[in-house]
Amino acid sequence: MAEYCSLNTRYGIPDQVRFKEGPSGMAVVEIASPSAEATIALQGAQLIGWDLRGEESVIWLSPAARFAPGKSIRGGVPVCWPWFGSHATEPSFPAHGFARTSSWGVTAAQQLPDGSTRLTFRLIQSEQTRALWPYPSDLELHITVGAVLEMDLITRNTGVQPIVIGNALHTYIEVSDVRDIAILGLDGCSYIDKVRGGERKRQAGPVIIAAEVDRIYLASTGDCVIEDPGLKRRILISKRGSSSTVVWNPWIDKAERLGDLGEDGYLRMVCVESANAADDVVTVAPGDEHHLWVRYQVEALG
């Protein structure tokens, strides 16, 4: 309890920002703005909910998600850093890096003039993280909660040599039925089809999901739109500092093997991830910083 009292004293905002014990004892911060509510786990600085008031959830969290120290949470917006997917040379290193399962500290909380709320998190480094990533660098995440959701993942190179990073905001979007949605904005993009052993293909038209999908769309810097007739909405995903887009749905067999998506959970979610992966990794010069910025906005579908 002392931990939450200290956090609330330093960063709490009455009726707006509150730190508390969450699922399975995990520390979380709850945000309430005039237009939206959100919950963020301090492990991984992982957003696990963003709901516009009076509307269906936008961010999907598995009903069977496991909350445990050092384990990834199924759903929300995991932070993949400093690599995406498997490590290039060390297969024993954790997939998608270590940021999503590490402890983060809060460094700022503020109410913005438009009524939205911004929290700033910083990755807490340790002997364990340095063993996996022995390069001087800092990682910070700004999350702004309001009528739109904005996330800014900032990598700072504090060393004297360039560093090469892969990263992603591995966002799980809630949908009415993944078989009925369409993902726009990727027409004509080449992609790596990980379900087909890494074959290179080109997207024709909108992305329609009717089987397992695991694709890295390369050189994709534009907006994506998820059209969901069942929920009568479209979700606009705008980004900067991202050259890849990852689309993922495990479908039936893989969902069963993963074991933490809940019954038919794969039908209620799709991951559309703003990333720098595969051919699109980023080099950060000494003293420089890289921003992976993403905005999520909900519009009615006429």
Active site residues: 170, 273
The string of DSSP codes covering 126-178 is -HHHHHH--S-EEEEEEEEESSSEEEEEEEEE-SSS-EEE-EEE-PEEE-S-G
Nearest to 65 by CA among 251, 270, 262: 262
Nearest to 61 by CA among 174, 149, 148, 170: 174
Q: Alpha-carbon distance 72 to 100, whole Å?
A: 6
Nearest to 276 by CA among 224, 238, 220, 236: 220
209, 229, 272 from 180: Cα distances, Å? 8, 7, 16
Q: Alpha-carbon distance 75 to 217, whole Å?
A: 21
Query: Residue 196: what residue type?
Result: R
